Amino acid sequence: MRILFTAAVWWLTVGGSSPLVEGKNKEPLNTACNGTRVDQTAHVGESVSITCKYPQADKSSIRYFCKHAGNFTCTNIISSQHYNYTKLPRFSLTDDKQQGAYTVLIFTLTQEDAGKYQCALKTHNSITCLQDVLLHVLSEY
């Protein structure tokens, strides 16, 4: 089941940029990214694998993978909490709780898949950014 999750994200400048997500009651939730950014490059038609690491203490959290849609929003693409494997038509999420990492596969890439993504965890009422992912999709070899 595809769950769409749109969060309003804005940037504060206090010793650097820290993303915040606006919660249901308009209160800011903890989403400060740890500064990790991963660049991935692949070609149209290929698949790409993105690994997101999380602390062992957070293995019961909901794992999110969202795409920044501009206007400071990040739309959830795929998420999982209880399942080790979640599959959508062009996306899958495999969670390895022993290793403290989940892997998102994007199949049959299109030019529209290029952009900024974010790995995040949700525990209780807070969303924590794990890393930003910048995906480059090349049209020619």
Summarised one tens digit per residue, pLDDT across range 59-88 is 889 999 999 877 677 889 999 988 899 999
Q: Mention every residue, 6+ apart, whose C-beta is less than 8 A from residue 19.
A: 9, 10, 11, 31, 32, 33, 118, 129
Percent of the chain with pLDDT over 90: 48
Mean pLDDT of the residues in the chain = 77
pTM for the model stands at 0.74
What is the domain range of residue 34?
Answer: 6-138
Q: What whole-number distance in Å separates Cα of residue 59 and Cα of residue 22? A: 23
Kindly report, residue by residue over 1-20, the tens digit of the pLDDT: 333 332 222 222 222 233 33
Q: Does 120 reside within a domain? A: yes
Q: What is the CATH number of the domain that holds 102?
A: 2.60.40.10
pLDDT digits (tens, 9 = 90+) for 114-133: 999 999 998 877 888 889 99
* Domain count of the fold of the chain: 1
